[in-house]
């Protein structure tokens, strides 16, 4: 049963989604001038703090892991890549079975252009998400191996500070950011023009997300020996936040809060794997791009790519996805090189891929974020089966 805090956040997010969409249909250009500016400011605040959240949570988590950190890190990254590769291969197999039997509309329509911002406040982050991740990994491993007590205490204090900022700043503004984002989508016409055109593709991909999550959590339950429902049942707020923000990075604060409430996960592993997964685990996005690439190939070029070509594409896509930025569209942008180089897409194919991918980006991101909980459970089962790295979140309490 969800706690009062969970219900409150869910209601706020749903209110943001619904109100934003409804207001977007009736808003005029003067209103959208303000909306675009506010959304930009909220987004700037979120993305300024996200790299600090990564450093503030991953580094002390690695320090608490001790000299086993490097081994755990390798296993974590391998699990993330294996999940992305597995999702791509699952999507590829499904594509060969399903796509030839589909009749998909190819007509595209021009979106209504959002007005220019009347007020622009840029707050560039101190460093990029990937720089934050690398910094956290290097500092965490180095502090753990050198046993630096001073820096260990510094990063422990940073963790407390970032926890306060997440609770008092990031989470309160997320419903507003989500609502303004959906207001923009409704005003542009995405909710009424593009979705009906590609509804079949998007529906199949979302179904694929849930199938893959079922597989992931099933494997996690076997590996850990724990009930996976005690993880994913807490992830509803994170899923809804990801649907609204279309960004694993922006959803990170809520995902951490959800994972911490699970009674079968340790705090140490949560604060290590969830931020790491937000950057390197993109199973939903990879699954989506694979299916869409195959569909677009059939639409524009009259044939599906060969099995050998798709296998190479899937292997490389998993690698490229690890380096995708934590922003909307990150995976598809990072992989454009192999889309053109391996699959042979021209400018029309690339443009269509980006357009369709953007329609479901929020659901792919939600799959990524929710899948992080499964990887955390796997990692906890491998390295913390008997509480060696710390107690479970609610050890000793009934579920």
For the chain, which residues make up each domain, given as ranges?
4-384
Q: What is the pLDDT of residue 340?
A: 81
Q: What is the pLDDT of residue 323?
A: 52
Q: What is the pLDDT of residue 307?
A: 93
Q: What is the pLDDT of residue 311?
A: 95
pTM over 0.75: no
Q: What is the pLDDT of residue 330?
A: 59
Give the residue from 272, 242, 247 showing the smallest Cα distance to 259: 272
Ramachandran quadrant class, 9 (left: phi over 0; alpha: psi -120 to 50; beta: rest):
alpha
Q: How far apart are CA 389 and CA 42, in angstroms?
A: 37
Q: What is the pLDDT of residue 123?
A: 87
Q: What is the pLDDT along the chain (399 residues), one digit of tens a residue?
A: 344 444 465 567 678 878 888 898 888 888 888 888 998 898 888 878 878 887 888 788 778 766 566 778 888 888 998 999 999 999 999 999 998 887 654 444 455 777 777 778 888 888 876 788 788 888 988 998 888 989 989 998 998 898 888 878 877 887 888 788 878 878 877 666 655 656 788 889 999 999 999 999 999 999 988 999 999 999 989 998 888 777 777 788 889 989 999 988 988 889 889 988 887 888 998 999 999 999 888 877 878 999 999 999 999 888 777 655 444 445 776 677 788 888 888 766 787 787 677 767 788 889 999 999 999 999 988 887 766 555 565 543 333
* Token pair for 391: 């107690």
Q: How far apart are CA 176 and CA 185, in angstroms?
A: 14
Q: What is the pLDDT of residue 121?
A: 84
Q: How far apart are CA 112 and CA 109, in angstroms?
A: 10
Task: Count each helix (H run) and each strand (E run) in the chain, helices first.
Answer: 17, 0
Q: What is the pLDDT of residue 204?
A: 92
Ramachandran quadrant class, 110 (left: phi over 0; alpha: psi -120 to 50; beta: rest):
beta
Q: Tell me the CATH architecture of domain 4-384.
A: Orthogonal Bundle (1.10)
């Amino acid at each position: 049963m969800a706690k009062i805090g969970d219900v409150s956040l869910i209601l706020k997010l749903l209110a943001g989604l619904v109100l934003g969409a409804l207001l977007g249909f009736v808003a005029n250009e003067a209103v959208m001038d303000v909306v675009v500016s506010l959304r930009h400011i909220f987004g700037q605040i979120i993305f300024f703090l996200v790299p600090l959240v990564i450093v503030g949570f991953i580094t002390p988590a690695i320090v608490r892991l001790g000299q086993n950190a490097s081994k755990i890190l390798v296993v974590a990254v391998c699990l993330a890549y294996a999940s992305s590769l597995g999702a791509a291969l699952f999507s590829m197999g499904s594509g060969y079975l399903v796509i030839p039997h589909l009749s998909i509309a190819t007509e595209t329509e021009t979106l209504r252009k959002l007005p220019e911002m009347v007020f622009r406040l840029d707050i560039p982050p101190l460093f990029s998400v990937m720089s934050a991740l690398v910094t956290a990994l290097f500092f965490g491993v180095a502090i753990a191996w050198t046993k630096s007590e001073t820096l260990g205490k510094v990063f422990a204090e940073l963790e407390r500070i970032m926890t306060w900022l997440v609770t008092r700043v990031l989470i309160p503004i997320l419903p507003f950011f989500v609502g303004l984002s959906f207001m923009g989508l409704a005003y542009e016409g995405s909710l009424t023009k593009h979705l009906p055109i590609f509804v079949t593709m998007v529906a199949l991909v979302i179904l694929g997300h849930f199938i893959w999550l079922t597989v992931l959590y099933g494997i996690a339950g076997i590996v850990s020996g724990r009930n996976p429902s005690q993880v994913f049942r807490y992830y509803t707020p994170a899923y809804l936040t990801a649907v609204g923000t279309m960004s694993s990075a922006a959803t990170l604060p809520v995902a951490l809060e959800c994972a911490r409430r699970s009674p079968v996960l340790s705090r140490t592993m949560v604060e290590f794997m969830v931020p790491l997964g937000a950057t390197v685990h993109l199973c939903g996005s990879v699954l989506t791009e694979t299916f869409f690439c195959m569909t677009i190939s059939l639409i524009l070029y009259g044939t599906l790519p060969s099995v050998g070509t798709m296998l190479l594409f899937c292997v490389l896509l998993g690698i490229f996805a690890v380096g995708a930025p934590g922003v909307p569209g990150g995976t598809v942008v990072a992989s454009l090189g192999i889309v053109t180089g391996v699959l042979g897409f021209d400018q029309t194919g690339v443009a269509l891929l980006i357009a369709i991918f953007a329609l479901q980006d929020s659901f792919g991101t939600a799959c990524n974020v929710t899948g992080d909980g499964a990887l955390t459970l796997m990692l906890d089962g491998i390295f913390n089966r008997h509480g060696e790295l710390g107690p479970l979140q609610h050890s000793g309490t009934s579920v």
